[in-house]
Amino acid sequence: MEFAESQFRCMACETLLVIDPVQAQVLTKFFKGLPPIICSKCDDEAKRGREDADRQQRVAESLRQWADLVPADEDTDPEKLPDTASWVRIHNHDFQQGQGVLLHGRTRAGKSRMGWLLLKAAARQALTIEAATAYGFGRELAIRFRDNKDAHGYVRRLERAGVLLLDDLDKLCPTSRAETELFGLVEERVSHRRPTIVTTNQNAEGLVKQFERKELGAAIISRLRENCATVFCTPREAKK
Ligand SMILES: Nc1ncnc2c1ncn2[C@@H]1O[C@H](COP(=O)(O)OP(=O)(O)O)[C@@H](O)[C@H]1O
Ligand SMILES: [Mg+2]
Ligand SMILES: [Zn+2]
């Protein structure tokens, strides 16, 4: 069977395609008739469609992870945050740039709530997420080391997350192991430009003070500050 060039159409959009006669012959022979060809425009579209579907799946997975991680009572309404001005400033934070957010302010300023909202925004940006409080991080490590339960796997998971929420950095139990592992975690994340969301009641000086090894503490804090946009959280208006 022979087909004229004009009979070759994109199977998706039916645009006529000009094909080299020799190639056309090979194709018709191989497919025993009209070959199922697709134009480059439709091919690109299909590829984009697949990429969109992949992205949607990643978003859905990250949002599921967020729902698993978030404390049950974190039903935050952005309008009710004590510092709405700060939230307005950071709610569009683009994590793709590799920069994290350091939320600093006194207790009950809404830092953790904003941290969780930011983590959700990261999930919507199709990034993988993890979360830990500094206290929980130390405790989890201690238990895993004690029970020989893959402490490195745990740290590795936090190291590799697209975005990590590290809540209450000022409440780390300063054991030598927790400090060392925290340094490794922060170093690994910052050097790969993986953003971290940090909340703290203390300023840099206060944070360093809580570490047993002050130099290590200073290294951790300076790396985080370099990698993060700092936001001071202060309630500006009395909320009902
Ligand atoms: N549903 C809500 N949505 C948003 N903010 C809330 C809600 N309920 C309480 N808050 C505010 O959240 C604050 C505590 O937020 P939180 O993130 O725990 O603070 P921080 O981590 O800075 O100590 C309270 O002071 C309260 O004003
Ligand atoms: Mg908090
Ligand atoms: Zn086409």
Model pLDDT, residue 239: 46
CA distance 124 to 120: 6
160 class by beta-carbon count within 10 Å (0-12 exposed, 13-18 middle, 19+ buried)? middle
Q: Is residue 36 part of a domain?
A: no
Dihedral sign (CA 82, 88, 90, 91)? positive
Q: Is 76 in the pocket of ligand 1 (CB under 6 A)?
A: yes
Structural domain includes residue 88: yes
Helices (H), the chain: 21-31, 40-69, 84-90, 111-124, 134-146, 151-160, 176-191, 204-209, 214-227
Domain at 219, CATH number? 3.40.50.300
Instruction: Examine residue 2 and state whether it is found in any structural domain, yes or no.
Output: no
What range defines the domain where residue 174 resides?
A: 74-233
Residue 39 inside a domain? The answer is: no
- Please, are residues 180 and 216 in contact by the beta-carbon 8 Å criterion? yes
Asked if residue 240 is part of any domain, the answer here is no
Overall domain count for the chain: 1
Ligand 1 lined by 109 (C-beta under 6 Å): yes
- Which numbered ligand comes closest to the C-alpha of 8? 3
In a domain, 41, yes or no: no
Residue 63 lies in a domain: no
Q: To test the ligand 1 pocket, which listed residue (91, 101, 108, 167) has its Cβ within 8 A of the most ligand atoms?
A: 108
Say what the pTM is. Answer: 0.89
Atom of ligand 1 nearest to the CA of 115: 17
Q: For position 216, what pLDDT does the model report?
A: 96
What is the chain's pLDDT, residue by residue, as a tens digit (240 residues)? 455 555 788 989 999 888 888 888 888 889 888 888 899 999 999 999 999 999 999 999 999 999 999 998 789 999 999 999 999 999 999 999 999 999 999 999 999 999 999 999 999 999 999 999 999 999 999 999 999 999 999 999 999 999 999 999 999 988 999 999 999 999 999 999 999 999 999 999 999 999 999 999 999 999 999 999 999 999 865 444
Q: Are strands 163-167 and 196-200 parallel, antiparallel or unpaired?
A: parallel
Is any ligand 1 atom within 6 A of the Cβ of residue 113?
Answer: yes
Ligand nearest to the CA of 109: 1
Determine if ligand 1 sits within 6 Å of the CB of residue 100: no
Nearest CA to ligand 1 atom 25: 108
Residue located nearest, by CA, to atom 24 of ligand 1: 108
Q: Which ligand is nearest to the CA of 106?
A: 1
Q: Is 229 domain-assigned?
A: yes
Question: Of 113, 167, 171, 231, which is best to mutate to test ligand 1, by the most ligand atoms within 8 angstroms of its C-beta?
Answer: 113
- Give the DSSP letter string of 40-94: HHHHHHHHHHHHHHHHHHHHHHHHHHHHHHS-TT----GGG-TTHHHHHHHTT--
**Structural contact between residues 181 and 141, judged by C-beta atoms closer than 8 angstroms:** yes
